[in-house]
Amino acid sequence: MLQLDPNLVKDRLELTVPAFKRVGLSADLGRISARTLLYPSAFVVLLGERSGENRYFSEDLIEQDVTARIGVIMAVRDIGDTTGALAGTHLKPLREAVLLSLCRFVPDPGGQAFRFDKGALQSGIDAHGGLFWQDDYTLRFDRRIQIT
């Protein structure tokens, strides 16, 4: 695998977390507005990659372990509660469903499953009880490039 494809994660969440009315990518998140946002929704964002040292002392081969990071941004709300407390209770089963889905998902043969890294509130509570929460996951895979 050269780079983690966020579409793999998007497709996985669409398949395994039917509670989401919409699952999108970072471009989709950039296009939403208060009028177009469906609750609950999730957006998958590729956050970056970090690679280890080359495993071999060869000029013809690069083989590294790579750790990719993704964020799953979840939008939830409860229109009857502008404090966000009820939105928070709606968030818990979604977070658990995403966690189980991704931690059981090995996107590349011979690779590893995603691992939970951290989670945090990403927005204040809006006037309609909506909030954005982001959980970050890592995925380790091997990158192998034959030079000659």
Nearest to 116 by CA among 96, 101, 136, 132: 136
For the chain, give the mean pLDDT.
85
Proportion of the chain above pLDDT 70, given as a percent: 82
For each of the domains in the chain, give its residue range(s) and CATH number, in order of start.
Answer: 6-146 (3.30.2000.10)
pTM: 0.85
Q: Which pair of structure tokens corresponds to residue 61? A: 């081969």
Max distance between CA atoms of the chain, in angstroms, equals 63
Q: What's the length of the chain?
A: 148
Q: What is the mean pLDDT of residues 88-113?
A: 88
